[in-house]
Structure 1
Amino acid sequence: MSTFTDADYPAAPYPGTRPPFSYVHLDGKGWRVTPDDDLDEWLTKHNAATLAERVPVLTYGSNANPSKITWLRENLGLEGPVVVLRATCTGLSAVWAAGLRVVDTQRPVTLAAMPNVTEVHAVWMADPAQVAVLDICEGRGDRYQLSRLHSGRVQLDDGSIWDGLLAYTGKAEIRWPLLVSGAPVRLAEIGQQQARDLVGTAAPVMGLDVSVVDGPPEPDEFPARVFVYGTLKPGESAWELVEPWVDGEPYQASITGEVFDTGFGYPGLKRGTDQVAGWVLPLRSPKAALATLDSYEGDEYRRIRVKTPGGTICWAYTWKFA
């Protein structure tokens, strides 16, 4: 992975500059990552939570800036590698908020629905402790609320499409969109110097379809689907174990990898370039459902997030020893 430093991406003026690629950040340095990199291997080497132990949080303001991440480390106790994945957002926009920041009188941004608009932002894959730091930084429950998005489309560079991901959306009036001549003003249209001089009114409706998250978000809730390729498929020997948790119609799909004979009477999945055929099972109560499946699969497998060719993200069980 190629490296960069915070100095390459200054934080001022808000929201700072951000790398035009996905990266991981640690100790004032960043490493560019591509869809072909094994991020879990890198995270494990740094004694950090794997991607399966993290939740996706859309960041559309300063939190995608490496220097801001270092500020979070120095001032709010943020620890460990931060995973920042480049994301193309459709139907969502970063717009200037109604109130200024107390710390520096700069104008922050907030999130609004905006049909037919496409912007590039980022998704933090945050571990629970990192979410707690973001909660403090964003004033969760006061200035912003942590929400699950049900509107817009967010696609990562690897083609995966995140539905129901998290985002901090405006709660207090000072973090509602600022309407100037009746319309919000996009971050993409003007910079901080002009934004500070804007005059308008706060918009009580952002057009977003969200549900507010109560308490810490659970990694196992993202996504509420599992891809099965062996004994858990419909009609196979372990189907009765998973069937009570299926919510909706299973459908056939494929993922990239390689299925092989473990020698124990059941298949295993490992990294590869083949198309592996299987089924996508929508899950009710995914945390409880996955606990049942984790117990069934045992220590020989690890659960990761994978994607179908259409970008749908699912859980899948891979062989630990491949």
Structure 2
Amino acid sequence: MHLDGAGWPVTPDPGADSGWRVAPDGRDLDEWLAEHGEPPLAGRMPVLAYGSNANPAKVTWLREELGLTGPAVVLRARCEGLAAVWAAGLRKVDGQRPATLAAVPGVEEEHAVWFATAEQLRVLDRCEGRGLRYRLVRLRTGRVTLFDGGVVDSVLAYTGAGSRRMPLLVNGRPVRCADVDQRGAARLAGRPAANDGLDVTPVHGDPSPDDWPDRLFTYGTLRPGMAAWPLVEPLTSGDPEPARLPGTLHDTGRGYPALRPLATTDGGVGPGVPGHVLRLENPEDALPVLDEYEGDEYTRVRVTLPDGRVCWTYLWTAELDDMPVLPDGWVENNH
């Protein structure tokens, strides 16, 4: 977390509504962001940050030179089958060689995922020269895993838009930034690769936070066969998949349950809630419909299933009062 020239560690916690806590006092990350008048994680878009974009000094530069505002939420990520490599062309402004992204099977590197607001993404667009030097894409090559185990499939990324930002091939192979420093990179001689080997979908226009993920974990009236299934079924594709999410269900006494990540006052994580994962045909159209149905008592968040899949779900945010915990098996027995 970076704001006003200072940074704070962010650590995963399945007991927090956002799934993360921020130092120094361990508050829920969404609560911290709300206190600063900023969007929660659900209102931010995951962008792969490699090269200098994960560096706090670069964030400070973006604030001073390009007007970046608000907290920068940058979470560490493990990238498999992807690498930051040196680009074929040098930068005109300083003669340095920029980094670019390439498919490199069998390689594992640590980079970061910047959860950017729409305004911050526009700053990154200007910084990266979107459409000229780099293009904004949804990346489908490799595997990007946050340090809470969540897999960020279809992560946004800036990849080379022309031959000068294609990987530099030396002896027929790209040169990883991890293997050669900037001083050595400037002296490299080679030729541009024909392509970066990445499977991507170009992004046209402004992406939306609702674009990712395209999965929804349902545990109450939106489950198959339940009262609100006719509302959600036309918004989905494929078959519902049984799944289980860490947490606890409480009985609201109103015909629908309340999901909370914390089970008891001792801070333990609940026994786990069975439900179904639904694939949303068009999340940007479906989620506003579901938001209206769930109402003000719930908030939509991204959660990580035990297998690493990230889904939307709805957490109860109203008072629990003395709502009893529903027994394990309640979901299966209420169709």
Q: TM-score, normalised by structure 2?
A: 0.88
CA apart distance, 1:80: 0.1
Secondary structure of the equivalent of 1:277? strand
2:33 matches 1:33: no
Question: How far is 1:101 from its partner?
Answer: 1.6
Find the residue that maps to 2:276 and give its secondary structure: strand
Q: Partner residue of 1:284?
A: 281
2:68 equivalent among 78, 88, 106: 78
Report SS of the residue matched to 1:278: strand
Structure 2 residues without counterparts, runs of 5 or longer? 14-20, 22-27, 263-268, 320-335
Give the Cα separation in 2 of the matches to 1:55 and 1:288.
17
Query: 2:318 — aligned with what?
Result: 321
Q: Which amino acid aligns with 2:6?
A: K
Task: Determine the structure 2 residue equivalent to 1:264.
Answer: 254
1:296 to 289, 293, 298: 293
Aligned residue-pair number: 299
Give the drift of 1:270.
Answer: 1.5
State the match for 1:212 in structure 2.
202
Structure 1 residues 2-41: aligned runs within 5 Å: 24-36=1-13, 37=21, 38-41=28-31
Aligned with residue 187 of structure 1, among 174, 177, 182: 177
Match of 2:308 in 1: 311
C-alpha displacement of 1:160? 0.3
Deviations 1:2-26 (A, max 9, x none): xxxxxxxxxxxxxxxxxxxxxx000
TM-aligned CA deviation for residue 264 of structure 1: 2.2
The corresponding residue for 1:11 is none
- Runs in 1 of length 4+ with deviation above 6 angstroms? none
Match of 2:88 in 1: 98
2: CA distance, partners of 1:249 / 1:85? 32
2:109 partner SS: strand
1:223 equivalent to 2:207? Answer no
3-state SS of 1:161 partner: coil
Question: Residue 24 of structure 2 aligns with which residue?
Answer: none
Once the two structures are superposed, residues 159-195 of structure 1 have per-residue CA deviations (whole angstroms, 9 ceiling, x without a partner) of 0001111000000211110011111000111111100
For structure 1, list consecutive stretches of 5 or more residues without a partner in the other structure.
1-23
CA distance in 1, matches of 2:49, 2:110: 10
SS in 2 for 1:304: strand
Give the Cα–Cα distance (whole angstroms) in 2 for the partners of residues 248 and 182 of structure 1.
43
Residues in 1 aligned to 2:284 and 2:316: alpha-carbon distance in whole angstroms: 21
Look up the equivalent residue of 1:293 and give its one-letter code.
L
Secondary structure of 1:162's aligned partner: coil
The farther-off stretch of 63-72 and 265-274 is 265-274
Q: Give me the whole-angstrom Cα distance separating, in 2, the residues matched to 1:211 and 1:258.
A: 38
Question: Once the two structures are aligned, what percentage of the paired residues are identical?
Answer: 59
